[in-house]
């Protein structure tokens, strides 16, 4: 009791607090300057979706609807038809990004590596309805980031 | 005529340099507190964020002055002025070298103490005129706190006056001549600590900033203020912080005397400013470290601990002066 009184009287705990903050004044700062610096991302990162093409320009998707079936959030809607050359292709491939939970099951289910999730995280929508990505938009994303997508898949392949 | 012109230029110099110091002080506050919390602080505007306070000032100056309905307009506008003017006026008697003050009066300490006490009227009137219960609560707290802490602060100053046998700030500093052992901080150490805690409370700084208590009363007395009047309250708070820092240096830390005699070739103004900057840094350090006191604890600390303690130490000091304790109280 007596000791505690003198400790309080001498502001002992306040001095201890000052010592801690004084130490942190000189501590190394770990802040990441976000737009310029970014934290490293795994090649398995599941971000924005994309539809890929074969190197000859033919779209990979064969409208098997496995992704639509496996999707736990029912975010994918697919309509299919037979194209002039007799192959089955999608006429509508839509992903609602508000419904999507980014689980990556669609990518796992895809037998032809068509639907993939890229590492892109910084995207936004300005109007209602824009969150539903159509086939052409998904293909465009795939075309734009194909090099990145292929490199990530190649790096991850040896662990699969 | 010429003497008035010179005084006018001196006043302008002091005000401009004070405003520049406040600008740098707010920047360093954000940086220091950021660093203490393992953050970086502002670093986007200008190199290392140095222009951030300029951007803040511009924002405040361009903002609309919102006047609450049913507020007393006259008092509402007068309040920030009433807060700012005494804190600027106190600087008139603040020496930065031997007898180097705008108004070199022989009761400088009393004058500064009176001026810092007047500042509370600005806060009370701001809280009253705002027609907001949060502002009123903040003003009430602030008034009670400042009036209470004035007493131990006055006693702490009394200790210095007893030691120096003078109210003249230049004489107080002159009596502390000759190395750091001659500073009044040593024989009056308890008074020095109490003075500094009271100064923190007087300027409404953390951990005594219940007058602004964001968590309970939004922002206290300046909740209804925006734009320029808010900037003036902000400016007043920081000018007061700088003022009490300088006062602490002059009364307890030997003013413009060097801590060691072999360093006496460095001009006194450097030592004065270096010591004052250290004291100003302590404000930031406190703010980064301590959580806010509860209101009743603040009152308890003042009335039940500080006032008896300062009185006790004044008696101890009186005995020491009577017996001429060296090297501070030579006959």
Mean pLDDT of B300-313: 88
User: Any idea which of B15-19, B70-74, B75-79, B89-93 has the lowest mean pLDDT?
Assistant: B70-74
Residue A65 · residue A107 · CB < 8 Å? no
Per-residue confidence (pLDDT) for residue A79, from 0 to 100: 92
Q: Report pLDDT for B330.
A: 62
Instruction: Work out the pLDDT band at B167, boundaries 50, 70, 90.
Output: confident
Amino acid A74: pLDDT: 92
Residue B120: predicted pLDDT: 83
Q: Are B72 and B119 in contact (CB under 8 A)?
A: no
Shortest Cα–Cα distance, A39 to chain B (Å): 17
Name the strand (E) or helix (H) holding B15.
helix B2-36
Asked if the peptide bond before residue B207 counts as cis, ω within 30 degrees of 0, the response is yes
* Residue of A18, A25, A31 lying closest to B32 (CB–CB): A25
User: For the residues A50-67, what does the mean pLDDT come to?
Assistant: 90
Residue that has been written with the tokens 């460095």 in this structure: B266
Q: List CB contacts (< 8 A) between B32 and chain A.
A: 25
Cis peptide bond prior to B147, omega within 30° of 0? no
Q: Cβ–Cβ of B38/A18 closer than 8 Å?
A: no
Asked whether the predicted pLDDT for residue A72 surpasses 90, the reply is yes
Surface-to-core class of residue B214, CB atoms within 10 Å of its CB (0-12 exposed, 13-18 middle, 19+ buried): exposed
Q: What is the dihedral of CA B67, B73, B79, B84, to 10 degrees?
A: 80
The residue-averaged pLDDT of A23-49 equals: 87
Averaged over A89-94, what is the pLDDT? 91
Residue of A nearest to B44 (CA): A33
Contacts of B301 by beta carbon, 8 Å cutoff, 6+ apart: B197, B293
Q: Inform me whether the pLDDT recorded for B331 exceeds 60.
A: no
Distance CA B165, CA B321 (A): 11
Q: Which of B252, B251, B249 is nearest to B270 (CA)?
A: B249
Complex ipTM: 0.73
Which positions ≥6 away from A10 have C-beta within 8 Å? none
Partner-chain residue, chosen from B40, B193, B285, that has the shortest CB–CB distance to A21:
B285
For strands A76-82 and A88-96, give the pairing.
Answer: antiparallel
Q: What is the pLDDT of residues B202-231, one digit of tens each?
A: 888 878 887 776 667 777 777 788 888 888
Q: Which one has a higher pLDDT value, A61 or B97?
A: A61
Question: How near does any CA of chain B get to the CA of A2, in Å?
Answer: 17
For chains A and B, count residue pairs whose Cβ atoms are closer than 8 Å: 33
- Positive or negative torsion for Cα A38, A41, A46, A48: positive
Please tell me if residue A29 touches chain B, with a CB cutoff of 8 Å.
yes
**Least CB–CB distance from A25: residue in B35, B40, B43:** B35
**Nearest C-alpha in B relative to A16:** B289
CA–CA separation, B236 and B22 (whole Å): 9
Cα distance between residue A64 and residue A122, in whole Å: 30
A74 at interface of B, judged by CB pairs closer than 8 A: no
Give the mean pLDDT of A30-38.
Answer: 86
Q: Do B285 and A20 touch (CB under 8 A)?
A: no
**pLDDT for B302:** 87
Model pLDDT, residue B299 = 87
- What pLDDT is stored for residue B2 in this prediction? 84
- A23: closest chain B residue by CA: B36
Q: Which pLDDT score is estimated for B277?
A: 92
Work out the burial of residue A16: count CB atoms within 10 Å of its CB; fewer than 13 is exposed, 13-18 middle, 19 or more buried: exposed
Q: Which residues in chain B have Cβ-Cβ distances shorter than 8 Å to A22? A: 36, 285
Q: Which of B32, B193, B289 is the closest to A18 by Cβ?
A: B289
Task: Tell me whether residues B35 and A29 touch, CB distance under 8 A.
Answer: yes
Is 60 exceeded by the pLDDT of residue B77? yes
Question: What's the mean per-residue pLDDT of chain B?
Answer: 85
Check if A30 contacts B (Cβ < 8 Å): yes
The confidence band for A50, taking pLDDT boundaries of 50, 70 and 90, is: very high
- Closest Cα of chain A to B64: distance in Å? 30
User: What band does A7 get if pLDDT is binned at 50, 70 and 90?
Assistant: confident
Helix axes B268-289, B2-36, angle to 10 degrees: 40
With cut-offs at 50, 70 and 90, classify the pLDDT of residue A144: very high
Kindly indicate the confidence band of residue A36, based on its pLDDT and cuts at 50, 70 and 90: confident
Tens-digit pLDDT profile for residues B127-145: 888 888 888 888 888 888 8
Closest by CA to B292, choosing from B203, B170, B204, B178, is B204
Across residues A32-37, what is the average pLDDT?
86
Q: For the segment A93-140, what is each residue's pLDDT rounded down to a tens digit?
A: 999 999 999 999 999 999 998 999 998 888 889 999 889 999 999 999
Which pLDDT does position B305 carry in this prediction? 87
Question: Which of B39, B193, B288 is the closest to A31 by Cβ?
Answer: B39
């Amino acid at each position: 009791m007596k000791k505690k009184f003198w400790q309080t009287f001498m502001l002992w705990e306040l001095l201890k607090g000052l010592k801690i903050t004084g130490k942190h004044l000189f501590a190394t700062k770990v802040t990441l300057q976000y737009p310029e610096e970014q934290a490293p991302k795994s090649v398995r990162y599941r971000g924005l979706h994309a539809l890929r093409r074969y190197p000859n320009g033919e779209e990979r998707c064969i409208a098997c609807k496995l992704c639509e079936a496996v999707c736990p959030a029912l975010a994918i809607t697919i309509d299919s038809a037979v194209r002039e050359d007799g192959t089955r292709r999608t006429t509508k491939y839509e992903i609602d990004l508000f419904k999507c939970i980014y689980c990556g099951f669609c990518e796992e289910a895809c037998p032809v590596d068509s639907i993939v999730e890229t590492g892109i995280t910084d995207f936004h929508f300005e109007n209602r309805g824009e969150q539903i990505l159509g086939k052409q938009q998904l293909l465009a994303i795939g075309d734009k980031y194909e090099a990145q997508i292929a490199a990530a898949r190649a790096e991850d392949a040896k662990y699969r | 005529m010429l003497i008035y012109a010179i005084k006018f230029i001196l006043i302008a110099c002091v005000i401009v340099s004070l405003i520049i110091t406040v600008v740098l002080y707010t920047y360093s506050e954000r940086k220091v507190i950021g660093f203490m919390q393992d953050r970086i602080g502002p670093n986007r505007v200008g190199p290392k964020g140095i222009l951030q306070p300029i951007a803040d000032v511009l924002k405040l100056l361009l903002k609309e002055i919102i006047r609450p309905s049913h507020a007393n307009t006259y008092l509402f506008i007068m309040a920030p002025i009433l807060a700012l003017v005494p804190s600027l006026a106190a600087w008139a008697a603040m020496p930065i070298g031997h007898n180097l003050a705008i108004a070199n009066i022989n009761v400088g300490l009393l004058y500064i103490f009176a001026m810092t006490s007047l500042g509370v009227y600005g806060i009370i009137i701001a809280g009253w005129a705002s027609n907001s219960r949060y502002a009123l609560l903040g003003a009430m707290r602030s008034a009670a706190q400042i009036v209470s802490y004035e007493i131990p602060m006055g006693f702490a100053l009394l200790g210095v006056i007893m030691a120096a046998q003078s109210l003249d700030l230049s004489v107080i500093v002159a009596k502390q001549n000759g190395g750091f052992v001659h500073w009044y901080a040593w024989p009056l150490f308890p008074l020095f600590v109490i003075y500094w805690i009271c100064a923190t409370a007087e300027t409404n700084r953390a951990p005594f900033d219940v007058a602004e208590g964001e968590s309970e009363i939004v922002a206290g007395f300046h909740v209804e203020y925006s734009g320029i009047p808010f900037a003036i309250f902000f400016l007043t708070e920081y000018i007061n912080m700088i003022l009490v820092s300088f006062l602490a240096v002059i009364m307890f830390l030997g003013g413009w005397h060097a801590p060691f005699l072999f360093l006496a070739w460095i001009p006194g103004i450097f030592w004065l400013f270096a010591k004052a900057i250290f004291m100003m840094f302590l404000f930031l350090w406190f703010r980064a470290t301590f959580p806010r006191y509860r209101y009743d604890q603040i009152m308890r600390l003042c009335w039940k601990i500080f006032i008896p303690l300062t009185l006790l130490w004044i008696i101890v000091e009186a005995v020491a002066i009577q017996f001429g304790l060296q090297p501070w109280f030579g006959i």
